[in-house]
Amino acid sequence: MTETVLEEKKVEKDWEPKIIAFLCNWCSYAGADLAGVSRIQYPPNIRIVRVPCSGRVNPYFIIKSLVDGWDGVVVSGCHPGDCHYISGNLVARRRFAILKELLEFFGIEPGRVNFMWASAAEGERFAVLIRKATKIVKELGPNKKFQREWC
């Protein structure tokens, strides 16, 4: 059984990670907007995907992102109790717990996949957490072992 081997991605001194962020429409996406309007600087490494609720995020999205070559994944939703759909984020929280434990068990570095809560009024908090996540992923280096050659 042969395995396709990727070319070694040269880790240049100024390599920047590519992080995909699934933000819930009502809280986190609005929080990111507020950070932008308030001119709060945060790293441009994230590419945002808007979802209606953090409960919409299927573990397939997270794993497919890693298989496609994204270096990090961030999922953000409303604080528990504040979900626009009442309980979407509570369902999601259990899902994320299981997924995080299993990813670590299988050998994915903890830190590649991050979950957080950020409300629509917390522009500053959103920026702080994204800064933190980017720093963690940058230290981990590029995602070589999980990326599939033909995605």
* Contact residues for another protein, defined by CB under 8 A: 1, 3-4, 59-60, 63-64, 67-69, 74, 80-81, 87, 90-91, 93-110, 114-117, 125, 128-129, 132-133, 145-151
Nearer to another protein, 74 or 120 (CB): 74
Cα distance between residue 4 and residue 101, in whole Å:
28
Nearer to another protein, 8 or 13 (CB): 8
The minimum distance between CB 19 and another protein, in angstroms, equals 12
The minimum distance between CB 33 and another protein, in angstroms, equals 20
What would the two tokens of residue 77 be? 């939703």
What would the two tokens of residue 150 be? 């033909």
Cα distance between residue 43 and residue 51, in whole Å:
21
Nearer to another protein, 69 or 142 (CB): 69
The minimum distance between CB 94 and another protein, in angstroms, equals 6
Cα distance between residue 147 and residue 32, in whole Å:
28
The minimum distance between CB 59 and another protein, in angstroms, equals 5
Nearer to another protein, 13 or 94 (CB): 94
Nearer to another protein, 38 or 58 (CB): 58
Check if the beta carbon of residue 74 is closer than 8 Å to that of residue 21: yes
Q: Tell me which amino acid residue 46 is.
A: I
Neighbour-count burial for 102-120, b at 16+ CB within 10 Å, e otherwise: ebeeeebbeebbbbbbbbb
Cα distance between residue 76 and residue 82, in whole Å:
13
The minimum distance between CB 61 and another protein, in angstroms, equals 9
